[in-house]
Amino acid sequence: MKIAIRIFACALFPHIAAAAEISAHRFDELKMNCDTCHGVGGVSVVPDQTPSIAGKSERLLVAQLKAFRAGKRRHDTMGFMGGTMSDEEIAAIARYYARSKR
């Protein structure tokens, strides 16, 4: 019965289920990569080369990461980065940078 309820809950609230799926380790690993180019917390030190992503809207960040992943927005590095991320990981990382102070 418990399992049935869980499956039902996942179908109804996929975003909640997804948020719980990404491990702290994986999140830290991703964040470290992004910070290397985009600056600590997403505040770029070379904004003319790599844009700041701190404080940008969560929807914009998710949309751009998915566009890079799909090759709709073309950029070698970000295409690669996007390709390494699942929907759940994109959601978690976008939420983090959207809440980061610019």
91 makes contact with ligand HEC (CB under 6 A): no
The string of DSSP letters for 35-88 reads HHHH-GGG--S-TTTS---TT--HHHHHHHHHHHHHTSS--HHHHHHHHT--HH
Candidate residues 17, 26, 33, 79; the one interacting with ligand HEC per rule CB under 6 A: 33
36 makes contact with ligand HEC (CB under 6 A): yes
Candidate residues 39, 54, 69, 81; the one interacting with ligand HEC per rule CB under 6 A: 81
37 makes contact with ligand HEC (CB under 6 A): yes
